[in-house]
Amino acid sequence: MTRFEPNLRIPGPTSLPPSVREAGGRQMINHRGPEFSAMLGRIQAGMRPFFGTVGDPAILSCAGTGGLETAIVNTLSPGDRVLGVSIGAFGDRFASIAETYGAQVDRVAAEWGWAAEPAEVQERLGGGDYKAVLLTHNETSTGTMNPIPELAATIRATSPETLILVDSVSALGAVPFEMDTWGVDVVVTGSQKAWMAAPGLAMVALSERGWAAVETAKMPRFYLDLRRHRDAHLKGETPWTPAIGVVFQVDEGIRLMAAEGAAAIFARHEACAAATQAGLEALGFQLFADEAHRSRTVTAAWIPEGLDWKPFNGALKRRGLILAGGQGKLTGKIFRVGHLGSVTVDEILGAIATLEATSIEVGRPIEAGAGVAAAQRAALAAAD
Ligand code: PLP
């Protein structure tokens, strides 16, 4: 058993800053009173610049998957043709939700570890009358980040009225996003990722085109109905009893993010991603994702041949380092290191040091200090 706080390096839930933890322990308040109303307004205003929108994000009490379902059921009708662009497990999930509610989904799938190709999306779009395209911003299962501005520009140019729905659950708040400028219609994120809070809230922002689609969509919806959320938010409320403890935390997380500033947050995530990638490579781990599209919030690496992962991971855990395994067809093949939310370069150096010490212990041919030195150099270079 560890006697110290683990270094929680999974891609969400992310570890909480002390003041966010304290915020979650507050006494309950009336969710139909002025204090809650002010908090909701602060959260919406604080999130707007990270979405890159002048609109008000809807705040729902559900997991990120509930946010994806919200995007689908509020903008589509059964029978609508939808292009599901999938580069991994979460892209598959987004497409499956649309299918579940009766959309006619065609899939474009990239090999896992690769980003979506705008030219391929363009070609597929040209051949059909698509109501919506589903995109994953950051594919958490493979550590790959899609080029959303390029993909959105291609979709807009090819099929101007097609809705662009983006799952940015594991990226928004950590990397730049400009939904209004890029012409994105629906963006979904979740409290337990870059927002440094516990799981429990999904935030969903819509363009004008997106809101127009909400009025005509025929898929069934009640709890996740965005019209009910919009109307309640205008009164400073939520339609249903919200996860108030998490709302307190997101309010504090947003305060911390505003104090740090978006540019500094994005730079910190870049430095942590660079340090993770360089450190792992120096320790002889081969990174999973295509170099040009590696994620700035989660890094995936192959489990090397000959390394018995279970005892190795057990030794990492005993030293307080908690990593994520692979998902779906990558189970047992890769491991993932999360670096989003309240992460610091020091925490990444700590993770690399633990991986280094454990590697040496099990006899991998590693030069002591090489991983940490490479990670440190990469973080410094990213900061320049
Ligand atoms: N989409 C992406 C890209 C994710 O990383 C996740 C969670 O890791 C989800 C959707 C689903 O979020 P949740 O587990 O909160 O339902």
C-alpha triplet 311, 315, 320: angle, nearest 5°: 140
Ligand 1 atom with the shortest distance to the CA of 12: 8
Backbone angles phi, psi at 281, to 5 degrees: -65, -40
Ligand 1 atom with the shortest distance to the CA of 192: 15
CA of 337 to the centre of ligand 1 (A): 15
- Quick one: how far is CA 288 from the chain centroid? 18
Q: Tens digits of per-residue pLDDT, 339-352?
A: 999 999 999 999 99
CA of 295 to the centre of ligand 1 (A): 15
CA atoms lying within 13 Å on the CB side of residue 112: 22
Ligand 1 atom with the shortest distance to the CA of 168: 3
Ligand 1 atom with the shortest distance to the CA of 65: 16
Pocket of ligand 1 (CB under 6 A): 12, 63-65, 90, 136, 138, 140, 167, 169-170, 190, 199
Other CB atoms closer than 10 Å to residue 191's CB: what's the count? 31
- Amino acid found at 251: D
Ligand 1 atom with the shortest distance to the CA of 190: 15
CA of 52 to the centre of ligand 1 (A): 21
Mean pLDDT by 10 residues, the chain (384 residues): 81 98 98 98 98 98 98 98 98 98 97 97 90 98 98 96 98 98 98 98 98 98 98 98 98 98 98 98 98 98 96 97 95 97 98 98 94 98 89
**Predicted local confidence at residue 210, as pLDDT:** 98
- Amino acid found at 45: A
**Predicted local confidence at residue 3, as pLDDT:** 60
- The residue ranges of DSSP E strands in the chain, in sequence order, are 7-9, 58-61, 81-86, 104-109, 132-136, 138-139, 144-145, 163-167, 186-190, 201-206, 298-302, 321-325, 334-338
CA of 169 to the centre of ligand 1 (A): 6
- Quick one: how far is CA 241 from the chain centroid? 25
* Best residue for ligand 1 mutational test, from 170, 186, 187, 296 (most atoms within 8 Å of Cβ): 170
CA of 145 to the centre of ligand 1 (A): 14
- Residue partners of 144: CB distance under 8 A and separation at least 6: 87, 88, 112, 113, 114, 115, 138, 289, 290, 293, 294, 295
List the strands of the sheet with 58-61, edge to edge.
58-61, 201-206, 186-190, 163-167, 132-136, 81-86, 104-109
Other CB atoms closer than 10 Å to residue 2's CB: what's the count? 12
Q: Tens digits of per-residue pLDDT, 216-225?
A: 999 999 999 9
> Nearest residue CA, atom 12 of ligand 1?
64
* Best residue for ligand 1 mutational test, from 14, 62, 65, 165 (most atoms within 8 Å of Cβ): 65
Spatial contact of 142 and 88, defined as CB atoms under 8 Å apart: yes
Ligand 1 atom with the shortest distance to the CA of 199: 15
CA of 81 to the centre of ligand 1 (A): 24
CA of 250 to the centre of ligand 1 (A): 17
- Quick one: how far is CA 363 from the chain centroid? 35
CA of 191 to the centre of ligand 1 (A): 10
